Amino acid sequence: MTYAQTPTPAGALQAQDDPYLWLEDIDGSRAMAWVKQQDAATLQRHGQSPAFARLDQRLLEVLDSDARIPFVEKLGGHYYNFWRDKAHPRGLWRRTTLAEYRKAEPAWETVLDLDALADTEHENWIWHGAQCLKPGYRRCLVSLSRGGADADVVREFDLLAKAFVEGGFVLPEAKTQVAWVDEDHIFVGTDFGPGSMTQSSYPRIAKLWTRGTPLAQARTVYEGKPEDLAVSAWRDLTPGYERSFVQRALAFYDSESYLLGADGRLTRIDVPTDAETSVEREWLLIEPRSDWQLAGRTYKAGSLLAADFDAYLAGHYRTGRRELAVLFEPTDTTALDGYSWTRHHLILNVMDDVVNRLEVLTPQPGAWKREPLAGAPALSAIDAGGIDADESDDYFLTVTGFLQPTTLYHGTLGEGQAQPIKHSPSFFDASKYQVSQHFVRSKDGTRVPYFEIAPKAMALDGRNPTLQYGYGGFEISLQPSYSGSIGRAWLEQGGVYVVANTRGGGEYGPRWHQAALKADRLRAYEDFAAVSEDLIRRKVTSPAHLAAMGGSNGGLLAGNMLTLYPQLYGAIVSQVALLDMKRYTHLSAGASWIAEYGDPDKPSEWAWIRTFSPYQNVQPGRRYPPVLFTTSTRDDRVGPAHARKMAAKMQALGYPADFYENVEGGHGGAADNRQLAFMHALEYTWLWHHVK
């Protein structure tokens, strides 16, 4: 597979104005020579010291620790885990029983050794997961990536034989979607040839493929349009409720879902295109992302609604003959963080000012029964999920916090409180620090929360090295979580760590996300700047000692703090970032995010996109703080071109811009624990050098 970008008419027009367009040639010899030179220079400056080597080793100890919780997934009678450590850098797919799992040192049975497979096949395989056919759970579709890219190879695997199936289902490398129908059929969306992928680089056509026949003979069940985001098909194999579905993703937040009949007829699940739906047994759950009027009633954006699936498709709810059950309705401070089914119950995870609480709902006529599930300590994150919704009311529950290592509980709804069965180790002395939550008013008056982790004895003298992290997009929430790496790399050095819950995220549901979409994108950056200004006002830190960091969409945020608010920061780290917002729709999977940012090929939208495009906004004659851009050659989601071009442009203008590109790792930036420890050690060493 080649990772070079495909030239487009818009790209050709851009070439005369962009002297760094050649860096978009991902594997090109000229571009890779530049990458190697940049990597060497950055390592020479920041990756050679004894302090860097010590930190690299200490972070690898965290990532490789045998004391980490091995989180599991139940498949049939076994509990499966994918595990990486020092002896198995690529990882082991392994299994055990629940009785063994409860033990401090479970006995594991290896199912697939990825290191041995990679050595045998001379491929740098990276695990991308497996889908197993229930209820027997013998056959699985295993996805493997070369070097960590989103594109992967799919191969059929036999869990009983613990081997790949000779003559089984195999799909070559592509951004593929697969799902079991039965033992001899799968739904597949992949690169079937020219025109079969969307402009966003995802499958446009869903087909039914029969075992033993050529892929070219697979029967089309649905075909989307090139401008769609993606098309997928899957089958719900819940015993007694087997149904097939097709989804046409129109954009990142808009889709159409259909019930696929045995005769091939499609029946649309008639909800707003911005609503998310899921089906469990007889229940249809609906999450509208905007206020929804139905049968004379308005359901608020961010709600969770329930309907009888068959009755809904029959139209009873649209005529007012039945009402949807409102399982959750947001308030000014609450949002739905997620939900999970057990056999007879639904567990809701609700955030209130970014702190979790759990409820258990039980279907019954009229209003569903509600009961609380044991809460978490203050300023922590809690989550619970059903283990096997087909068979039991068992669930796992996790509790974690910035200073509290994760604890895993196991319980059964209706049978008392869950009991702890696994504890993550402590990787730093948390007794020296305290967590606090603060709120600040952004430029337009919006109340924005942030978390601060700081030494208990911190002096408010404006001199504390402070790292502020943010994301601010795609309705993703930043919640309390334990990180041994942050503890060792930053807190132990005397630093303060801050997490900003800016608009664009999901901390207060869809409204919080939609407040920073497209033309309103600057709100996310105003929020982040307001947090920075509050830290400076409170004398926690000062611009010379304050750094900003973010990855992916958060890397775009970091890039905008660099160009829009340079006076607030002493250093910036931008990881696997979007930065050239003029070209982003023509790079890797960028076209899939038009619903988030807008379309720069439309002059009316480029007029406001350019206000948050760091690559276009960096100008000569300004004072920018030092910046480090990190990325991966194998990132086929955002792509390394953004970081390459931004670093090259800033260096040409005489600004202090460092760059490091890992040749593997995909959008995560690293392919294994050793690479991840190295990348983090480099980033934190660089940061500490600039803001201590």
- Residue pair 324/317 in contact (Cβ under 8 Å)? The answer is yes
Handedness of CA 610, 616, 619, 623 (dihedral sign): positive
Nearest to 639 by CA among 39, 3, 37, 44: 3
- Phi then psi for residue 220, to 5 deg, are -70, 130
Q: Report the run of H or E that residue 499 belongs to, with start and end.
A: strand 496-500
Nearest to 529 by CA among 491, 502, 495, 489: 502
Q: Report the run of H or E that residue 596 belongs to, with start and end.
A: helix 594-597
Among residues 586, 667, 680, 690, the one annotated as catalytic is: 667
> How much of the chain is in helix, strand and coil states, percent to nearest 5?
25, 35, 40
Name beta bridge partners: 96: 79
Q: Which residues contact 447 (CB under 8 A, 6 or more apart)?
A: 439, 440, 441
Given the DSSP bridges, would you call strands 276-280 and 170-174 parallel, antiparallel or unpaired? unpaired
Terminal alpha carbon distance of the chain: 44
Given the DSSP bridges, would you call strands 254-260 and 266-268 parallel, antiparallel or unpaired? antiparallel
Among residues 143, 201, 552, 574, the one annotated as catalytic is: 552
Q: Which residues contact 2 (CB under 8 A, 6 or more apart)?
A: 26, 27
Q: Which amino acid is at 143?
A: S
Q: Which residues contact 637 (CB under 8 A, 6 or more apart)?
A: 150, 588, 589, 666, 667
Torsion of CA 9, 591, 472, 571, to 10 degrees: -40
- Residue pair 253/246 in contact (Cβ under 8 Å)? The answer is no
- The verdict on whether 690 is a catalytic residue reads no
- Residue pair 112/157 in contact (Cβ under 8 Å)? The answer is yes
- The verdict on whether 88 is a catalytic residue reads no
Q: What is the SS3 assignment for 272?
A: coil
Q: How many other CB atoms are there within 10 angstroms of residue 333's CB atom?
A: 14
Q: Which residues contact 338 (CB under 8 A, 6 or more apart)?
A: 349, 383
Write out the two tokens for 142.
């295993």
Q: What is the DSSP letter of 31?
A: H
Rounded CA-CA distance 625/570 in Å is: 5
Q: How many other CB atoms are there within 10 angstroms of residue 267's CB atom?
A: 11
Burial profile 398-419: b = 16 or more Cβ within 10 angstroms, e = fewer: bbbbbbbbbbbbbbebeeeebe
What are the residue numbers of the active site?
552, 667
